[in-house]
Structure 1
């Protein structure tokens, strides 16, 4: 047994361990918050017509392109309006024709009476009556033409309403709410669907009251979208200083610095915000190990391993900031599972 133990000690002493010095570095201080993505811009799509909804082409959650047909309103009422407007135009045209004929007759009578008056064949009273009649007929022509113009404008308006029977998406977006169904009455100004603009997607999170003072507009952040397994750079865009009375937290919004069409409203997000920096002792991440359920590192203490329990403060790439280790001390990188205190390192 003594011979086996001696061989094991010789093997351990002969093993070459990789040591790395602990370094004092300036590291970022970050806070991580749970949040989600949302659309900053929403569009409530309605129709200008009153009528029954004939067809709806989208459901909640559908992604739509600008110009895509969303829904249709039954145009029967519009056709009725158009027919009435056309009948009004015909009636006005007939009125103009009748007024112009009456004016033409009055003008002939006026010309004839004018010659007779000059010859002294009729009295001034009779001539004035004829003059008044001509002027009245002329004003009736002008009135009839004005009514015709009004009727034509009504027809143009009725015809223009046809295009509002089909409602198209004004933006690239996603349908977040459908507020009506086929057969429902559509009213002007009442939204049928609500779209979220996919080009305006941002992230948001509720921040504890004690952290609000640490966050400023324009501050750098990183948003991790778990559904996409992607980290996206962002900045604080706004801080809503009206807190939630129940949770004593404040809403902070973040804008993405890179365009990503795959990010949709409603995705879960973990948002890491840089709130400052400070100097800390860092060691390689691979120096971390566990003994008896305690996280620590092995430090070179005069050529022998010494296990030091540590607290991890933060991670910076392949390094971690820890406590209980001094800058300049050397730690064992990738310590073997059988390493213990006093294991020779030389």
Structure 2
């Protein structure tokens, strides 16, 4: 019995000692120095986001109006070309044959015209001296006019053949870069079938689709922010064109935006566009003011994303949030953090849920 009492007394002393030590450790823990910021929304009001891609403002498909085999194709994808540079040659045997026929018809029509003209002039003089009748003069005039019309028809046919010659040697209509090649040397070219695509990379546009709730707020000339999805690089832009119909775009409206600085950008890059809407004093139920915070403030654990906020007792509280689109080094918070609510940007130590902090 004495042994049992002694064991209980010893256990009580150890427990008390441990509790006292834990309490001293907890009380002696130094607060972690942190940098605090406040979440903010667009100071001008709300904004809407739209996704799309960059396209060349000047883009043309090179094709031909005649059918024939491609005998020469002096173009490769990525090649820089100048306006007027020869790119494609098409077999012109048929056109050459038609050209020979047109020349023969012109020679024949010219001979008929010369003969009819001389006869008409001769009978005009005879009629003046009353050596020819009015009917004979009228017949010569009709023959002369028919010969003249025949010569003009033959010359028009020759002009048509010459016009077709232009489509046997196709030149670049604009200066730019070849971005697509649809045929190879030896292929059959057909009228209207594209052979090459040339784009001018100096002028790029962002094309995005905007919902019907926000399209009425988008105005021509409106400045916007364009963020490249691949690099998070941010460039400026200006709304250039706004489609007034969504019949062919799935209920959304196509908006074209001129890119301010597209020197190092490429056609086809995917982008996010931010349209700022000034606050009119009325609550718009179609969109909300999005909260923006630095990406460096986010904490990722597995598939969850959170951010440390501050409790009333100056402790760090890990709160899970739902993120939206990224704009440069800023990320959109869709839920989990209110506007003007403080959060921890950085800390001089390892943060954890419930850690004491000091600003």
Question: Would you say same fold, with TM above 0.5?
Answer: yes
Instruction: Using the TM superposition, name which of 54-63 and 153-162 deviates more.
Output: 54-63
What's the secondary structure of 1:85's corresponding residue? helix
Change (3 A) 1:98 1:222: same
Deviations 1:136-184 (A, max 9, x none): 4465445434433443343344334322311223234544462787341
What RMSD over aligned residues (CA atoms) do the two structures have, in Å? 5.2
Tell me the equivalent position of 2:260: 258
Gaps of 5+ in 2: 1-17, 280-287
Map 1:127-276; keep pairs closer than 5 Å.
Answer: 127-128=131-132, 133=136, 136-137=139-140, 140-141=143-144, 143-172=146-175, 174-176=178-180, 178=182, 182-187=186-191, 190-193=192-195, 195=197, 197-198=199-200, 201-205=204-208, 212-215=212-215, 216-218=217-219, 220-227=223-230, 230-235=233-238, 237-238=241-242, 241-242=246-247, 250-274=252-276
Matching residue within 303, 308, 317 for 2:317: 308
What's the secondary structure of 1:222's corresponding residue? strand
Asked if 1:334 is matched to 2:339, the reply is no
CA distance in structure 2 between the aligned counterparts of 1:274 and 1:221, rounded to whole angstroms: 7
Corresponding residue pairs, total: 317
CA distance in structure 1 between the aligned counterparts of 2:155 and 2:62, rounded to whole angstroms: 30
CA distance in structure 2 between the aligned counterparts of 1:159 and 1:230, rounded to whole angstroms: 52
CA distance in structure 2 between the aligned counterparts of 1:180 and 1:221, rounded to whole angstroms: 42
Gaps of 5+ in 1: 118-126
Tell me the equivalent position of 1:122: none
Give how far 1:203 is off: 2.9
What's the secondary structure of 2:315's corresponding residue? strand
Deviations 1:64-98 (A, max 9, x none): 54333342221212221222222222223333444
Asked whether the equivalents of residues 53 and 183 of structure 1 are also in contact (C-alpha less than 8 Å), the reply is: yes
Deviations 1:184-213 (A, max 9, x none): 1533xx233363654664334456xxx641
CA distance in structure 2 between the aligned counterparts of 1:94 and 1:313, rounded to whole angstroms: 88
What's the secondary structure of 1:164's corresponding residue? coil
Give how far 1:337 is off: 1.3
Give how far 1:258 is off: 0.8
Change (3 A) 1:6 1:286: farther
Give how far 1:19 is off: 5.8
Map 1:268-287; keep pairs closer than 5 Å.
Answer: 268-274=270-276
Question: Rg: which structure is higher?
Answer: 1
What's the secondary structure of 2:64's corresponding residue? coil
Instruction: Using the TM superposition, name which of 259-268 and 37-46 deviates more.
Output: 37-46
CA distance in structure 2 between the aligned counterparts of 1:299 and 1:285, rounded to whole angstroms: 22
Asked whether the equivalents of residues 300 and 330 of structure 1 are also in contact (C-alpha less than 8 Å), the reply is: no
Deviations 1:289-327 (A, max 9, x none): 7999863145684xxx42234466889978998848987
